[in-house]
Structure 1
Amino acid sequence: MNKNGDADRMARLEEALAHLTRTADDLSEIVARQEGELALLRRRVGLLLDREAEREADAGGTIPLADQRPPHW
């Protein structure tokens, strides 16, 4: 290859690397945001389960529904 061909090839490789780097950075930000969202949702589900267990206990149930075995067991 000649010098122009090498320079063109190098420019294409650098451009591809820049795009891949940007994509990796974008995906990293997305994963970090989703991790925070999942943590929030886990906390909320935990609170809802606790609230429902308290409500069932206050209603006079012997065992909270979440702790009972399914009927097919």
Structure 2
Amino acid sequence: MSDVKTLSHRIDMLETRLTFQDVTIETLNETITAQWQQIDVLTRQIATLSERLREAEAAAPGATNEPPPHY
């Protein structure tokens, strides 16, 4: 009888741990998904800003590597 109670208690403890682990895994998954969405947004913003910078540099007057006028 004692063995049955011990096994029952152990099974209950394992089921409890499993439930908490499932919740933790789901929370981590949601966090990772949100982070990937944010990374995607930031990557697109960087690409847009890089393109705008290239366009601005191309439209800038004069060469950027000219020596100063006093040379």
Same structural fold, with TM-score higher than 0.5 when normalized by the shorter chain: yes
1: distance between equivalents of 2:62 and 2:23?
56
Change (3 A) 1:47 1:61: farther
Tell me the alpha carbon deviations over residues 26-65 of structure 1, each in whole angstroms, 9 at most, x when there is no partner.
Answer: 0110111011000000000001100110000000466xxx
Report the identity percentage. Answer: 27
Query: Which 4+ residue blocks in structure 1 deviate beyond 4 angstroms?
Result: none
Residue 59 (1) aligns with residue 60 (2):
yes
Determine the C-alpha separation between the residues in 2 that align with 1:21 and 1:61.
62
- Which structure's CA Rg is the greater one? 2
Tell me the TM-score normalized by structure 1.
0.78
Long gaps (5+) in structure 1: 63-73
Residue ranges of structure 2 left out of the alignment (5+ in a row): 64-71
- Give the TM-score normalised by the residue count of structure 2: 0.81
Q: Which has the higher contact order (CA 8 A, sep 6+)?
A: 1
Give the RMSD, CA atoms, in angstroms.
1.4
Which residue matches 1:5?
6
